[in-house]
Structure 1
Amino acid sequence: MRELPHTLKIVTVWLLLGTLLFVAVQAWQRQANATQFSAAGGVIEIRRARDGHYHWPGTIDGVAVDFLVDTGATSTAIPASLASRLGLTPIGQVRSHTAGGPVTGQLVRVDVVLDGGVQARALRVVALDGLRDRPLLGMDVLGRLQWRQADGVLTIDMH
Structure 2
Amino acid sequence: MLRKLLILAVFAGTSASIPIVYQSNPQLVENLLRSAVPGKQAVEAQPNVNLASVPNKPAAPLPMGRKVLVAADERGHFSSPFKLNGRQVDGMIDTGATLVAINISTARRIGLSLNASDFNREVNTANGTIKAAVAMIDRLQIGSITVNDVQTIVLDDRALRTNLIGMSFLNRLDKYQVENGTLLLVQ
- TM-score of the aligned structures, taking structure 2 as reference length: 0.60
Q: CA RMSD in A?
A: 2.4
Spell out, residue by residue over 1:4-47, the C-alpha distance to the aligned partner (whole angstroms, 9 max, x if none).
Answer: xxxxxxxxxxxxxxxxxxxxxxx977445431521214331111
* Mapped partners of 1:29, 1:131: distance in 2: 26
Is 2:147 the partner of 1:123?
no
Comparing 49-58 with 84-93, which one deviates more in the overlay? 84-93
Q: What is aligned with 1:51?
A: 75
Q: Which fold has the larger relative contact order, with Cα–Cα distance below 8 Å and residues 6 or more apart in sequence?
A: 1
* Mapped partners of 2:59, 2:72: distance in 1: 8
How far residue 111 of structure 1 moved from its aligned partner, in angstroms, is 2.2
Distance 1:35 1:28, change over 3 A: closer
Q: What is aligned with 1:143?
A: 171
How far residue 86 of structure 1 moved from its aligned partner, in angstroms, is 4.0
Question: 1:89 is paired with a residue of what secondary structure?
Answer: coil
* Mapped partners of 1:85, 1:156: distance in 2: 26
How far residue 48 of structure 1 moved from its aligned partner, in angstroms, is 0.1
| Unmatched tracts of structure 1, length 5 or more | 1-26
Contact 1:47–1:153, Cα closer than 8 Å, also in 2: yes
Spell out, residue by residue over 1:124-143, the C-alpha distance to the aligned partner (whole angstroms, 9 max, x if none).
Answer: 211101112x3110001111
Aligned residue pairs: how many? 131
Taking the TM superposition and a 5 Å limit, the aligned residue runs for 1:16-95 are 30-31=54-55, 33-90=57-114, 93-95=120-122
Which structure has more strand as a fraction of its residues? 1
Contact 1:110–1:124, Cα closer than 8 Å, also in 2: yes
Contact 2:140–2:150, Cα closer than 8 Å, also in 1: no
Distance 1:92 1:122, change over 3 A: farther
Distance 1:29 1:83, change over 3 A: farther
Question: 1:74 is paired with a residue of what secondary structure?
Answer: coil
The residue type equivalent to 1:38 in the other structure is L
- TM-score of the aligned structures, taking structure 1 as reference length: 0.70
* Mapped partners of 2:181, 2:127: distance in 1: 25
Contact 1:56–1:114, Cα closer than 8 Å, also in 2: no
Q: What is aligned with 1:99?
A: 126
Contact 2:176–2:183, Cα closer than 8 Å, also in 1: yes
